[in-house]
Structure 1
């Protein structure tokens, strides 16, 4: 694949029989490709594809060198590919030979001695932040979690992002002044300056994070056990100093199950953990008084920890995409892939998830697995997941959203072939099923849905201490304990949504820099974030999204 782009259309792989429009191309635009010259027979919007030759129903469409669909109608040379003339199709896959050779990026040598400033934990992991968790084992405790949040957050100096209370005050005043509905709708509400925040009481703690969810009881036992595994992943996470856990007492997700899951992930677990059961303590006030006292004491201990230098091998980066577009696979995603290869060569860990968005590239990824056992596990997870989806009438083919389709990702295989570019070229060290923990350096495949928040939640639960999140349409996803760095695939969305996006890879589409140059720029930013020198937009906004995956079908 080209590492820089200087034209208005692009062939991604030599096998491809469609070209990608990099700008809006009107009907009649002359295309000079290889030894042929032809004109577009339809308008082709930027990010969409058009044919190199005239084709017939049933003919295969290739992008990124793989099958991504088949034609349902005849198409002329230079005609746009749309949902009206293509249907999803992907090659079958099976256990193949190991293909684990790869080229280590030369620039990796420049980063071998670089470090970041992190929080060193007893299990040998290193955090990019230092948080205290307050979490419920069951949804019945959500109200008490929120009461603790209201009581602790502002008083300890962990104030919420700027609210819109002053704007509401203006609207109320207009109502009292007798303004009409139309006057209110036409009002120009000025954003008020950010209010001064209380100085943090505990300088070495980045925040207290209060997680809520709708699980723990009433569903399947499998879901409750998976929830305990996920929560254990968060409690043992390197970005977490300790945790307060509220339990009702009678729910499926028992404290004993949680502790077993913690021991699976850290057999010598030594972090402070406060476990309080409401049915045992009696009144709500008893529960909350104990939670407040014991949490405050835990914070005092957690505040003793400080940042110290750590090698880049201690980074575990989750790779995510959401609100993807037709540029995702040729700008931001391959940039993440090059960065991933650098980090793997340094001994770091990478997590690629979203299994519904790996449809069509299963053969390549399974062949890249270091062992046959890992390859077999990946193949089985993919087949079982898709079979469950098919049984419910919604296979992987149904994954692309209306926004994806509007911006050029018109089949799941097109979306998947571009999404897989985030993983670079290194071998697959391990294949994990949700909510297992990363234990090996290198590229790890984690079975999760394609849903942004569920997948990001899962990656962090498996150990990602930073998440790189690419978006072509704009997605405000974040995480309570791991910094989520948002990467734009195109300059337009970067300029339109500067409050949620950190890095622009639209420069690649515009020919201003190569994928390698963008990856180096991004890695330097990652190191600053990991050291606490820079806060990504999602952290500044308090975008603390947390949705556990119920193992039913979610694409």
Structure 2
């Protein structure tokens, strides 16, 4: 993609992303009157432009299109003089059709010679899947069991001496009782199951009170987690009378695991003699499951066994320039090596549908994507919502003025490889290559969906910062700018900021990030979200979530 970079006093000052764009992005705060180089011409700024925000290269009249990434991302609602800022006061969302840059069958795979024959150390499952982690899962079929899940969580952490909040509990004691505290914690015990990454406990607000479709969707999502290659087995708690019945979940699990290779224990409280008996039986299944899971050791696996889910949250004006295309470059490398990527968040693909359709491997895949997008938009319209309402106040404050502008940058996470399949929510990934997954734009709902469809590693880009993680799939956090990486270094794993400063090439950082993915998949690197026990899980109730 052609890029024209302007400099000021030897430093990058602004960026035109695509040759056809009629706006530039400020890479630093630019005062009014600043002169900007643009494709051999000079432009004087009509007003101050904050970093990450866009300014027009030409006079725009009401109705004129605003173009970025070579696609329409907005429409002027009032005159915008050259050198003026693009804002919500003078621009509105627009997705006028533009000629797609992509062409079916024209993808050129990146150079991956350095990674040919490279392996990662994963957990090989009887069904052929390979996990990047090895966890035992404890699942409630209905929200009524959340309290019992929490009881089990605390009991297991205490028994294993692996309390993830140990340091915070000591902090609270010191704040309340002084530096020494009055009740020092017991010393952490040795790991009894060194080949197991832990027990993960899910809670949610569904399972009853909704529609039959809600219950079925929940069971399919839970089945995706239970049968995930990162999961050794599961303990399921059911109340008994709820809409999401054990038989429904068993059917969903059987669809994913027809050979019954994954150990799953189903416990029903209303059929138990007491709560104490239920907890005892659950603990027994958990500890027996841990002992069994501990017999599996990491062994080399090809990179084709990796499936990268890609996600963004807390995006800023640099996300689509650094972190998102960087992740896309990693996905392209993995696809070229026989692996897979999953791009989700359908509301954040609004405005670039024509680009993705042009990349679909055949007409059937293109039609599925079009049908799912149209159905989602119609459902939103019925309740008075629209994809154009997607950008959050934080997005807008940081320069993402319209949904199309946000979408054009968000889609970069999927790279440029062909779209081989389109998945509806909870459907499993089966085809190697880039897949599209219908999910909402809500960060945690979408990340939850990515793991449920089989992503065994997730790359999450952010410009403003977010601690989001997942219970079963390691989440690597990539910052769009170095300021965020320094300020929130306890949640950020990788800094894409050098791209903005011109200090490192996209190819160089993509190779580095892919190596970090391999180290994470092999258990040699623990992402910040795992260290913080940030295990977020929110099922999508298939309503309007933008």
Query: With structure 2 as the length reference, what TM-score do the two structures score?
Result: 0.95
2:147 is the alignment partner of 1:136: no
Once the two structures are superposed, the pairs formed by residues 113-128 of structure 1 within 5 Å of their partners are 113-128=117-132
Q: Is the 8 A contact 1:322 1:475 kept in 2?
A: yes
For 1:237, the equivalent position in structure 2 comes to: 228
> Alignment length, in residue pairs?
540
Partner Cα distance (2:44, 2:501) in 1? 23
Match of 1:180 in 2: none
Moved more, 539-548 or 362-371: 362-371
Q: Counterpart of 1:536? A: 527
Structure 1 residue aligned with 2:518: 527
Q: Structure 1 pair 246/336, CA: closer, same or farther in 2 (3 Å)?
A: same
417 and 145 in structure 1: CA distance in 2 versus 1, 3 angstrom threshold:
same
Q: 1:509 to 1:189 in 2, by over 3 A?
A: farther
**Runs (4+) of structure 1 moved beyond 2 Å?**
1-7, 91-98, 161-174, 193-197
Q: CA deviation at 1:294?
A: 2.1
SS class of match (1:270) = coil
Instruction: Indicate which of 478, 491, 498 corresponds to 1:500.
Output: 491
CA drift at 1:197? 2.3
Matched, 1:9 2:14: yes
Pairing 1:111–2:102 present: no
Mapped contact 1:105–1:342 kept (Cα < 8 A): yes
Structure 2 residue aligned with 1:46: 51
Question: Aligned partners of 1:101, 1:303: CA distance in 2, in Å?
Answer: 46
Change (3 A) 1:235 1:377: same
Correspondence for 1:251 among 228, 242, 246: 242
Aligned-partner SS, 1:99 = coil
Q: 2:81 aligns with which of 70, 76, 84?
A: 76
- 1:172 and 2:176 correspond: yes
**Aligned ranges 1:393-472 → 2 under 5 Å:** 393-472=384-463
- CA gap of 1:448–1:301, structure 2 versus 1, over 3 A, is same
TM-score (norm 1): 0.94
Unaligned 5+ residue runs, structure 1? 175-187
**Range that drifts further, 369-378 or 472-481:** 369-378
Q: Say whether 1:59 aligns with 2:64.
A: yes
Secondary structure at the residue paired with 1:8? strand
Shift of 1:122: 0.9
Unaligned runs of 5+ in 2: 6-10
Relative to structure 2, which stretch is displaced further, 2-11 or 326-335?
2-11
- In structure 2, the residue matched to 1:264 is 255
Cα distance in 1 for partners of 2:166, 2:25 equals 41
Deviation string 1:505-554 (CA, Å, 9 cap, x unpaired) is 00000111011111001001110000000100000000000000010100
Partner of 2:128, secondary structure, is: coil
In the aligned structure 1, how far is the partner of 2:3 from the partner of 2:516? 21
Q: Which residue of 2 aligns with 1:178?
A: none
Q: Find the partner of 2:500 among 509, 527, 538.
A: 509
2:72/2:97 contact within 8 Å kept: no
Cα distance between partner residues in 2 of 1:376 and 1:78: 41
Q: Does residue 1:25 correspond to 2:34, yes or no?
A: no
CA positional deviation for 1:169: 3.4
CA contact (8 A) 1:52 1:78 kept: yes
Cα distance, 1:300 vs structure 2: 1.2
Cα distance between partner residues in 1 of 2:355 and 2:450: 22
Instruction: Give the Å deviation of 1:243.
Output: 0.3
Displacement of 1:256: 1.1
> After superposition, where does 1:303-318 map in structure 2 within 5 Å?
303-318=294-309
- Give distance in 1, aligned partners of 2:346 and 2:69: 18
| Distance change in 2, residues 1:2/1:159 (3 Å) | farther
Q: Distance in 2 between matches of 1:196 and 1:371?
A: 59
* Correspondence for 1:357 among 337, 348, 360: 348
Q: Where does residue 299 of structure 1 map in the other structure? A: 290
1:252 deviates by: 1.1
